Amino acid sequence: MSCLVYRCTRQAEMYLYLRSDVAPDSLPEALRQRTGRLIEVMKLELTPQRKLARADAAKVIERLAADGFYLQMPPHAQIDPHLYFGD
């Protein structure tokens, strides 16, 4: 499956995987608010066997097929509280 990976400016180490046929503008408003501005970092061809640093490729493919996106959260210790409680 072909996808684009975006860095989320609102939170360090948070990345959004988008299926290639999904436009960032079509994402739910609540998700766009949490991610902030999206900066494209790479294009990937995903297979279940592909190794990803912080996510299981099969799970990413499943979410991309179902929802069109997969949000990779940062390690728990690096999550900024403003993501949940507002600025």
Q: How far is CA 53 from the centre of its chain?
A: 13
Task: Spell out where the chain has E strands.
Answer: 2-8, 15-19, 38-45, 69-72
Report domain 2-85's class: alpha beta
Mean pLDDT by 10 residues, the chain (87 residues): 94 93 92 91 94 92 96 73 53
**pLDDT value of residue 81:** 58
What is the pTM for the complete model shown?
0.84
**pLDDT value of residue 87:** 47
The domains of the chain are located at 2-85
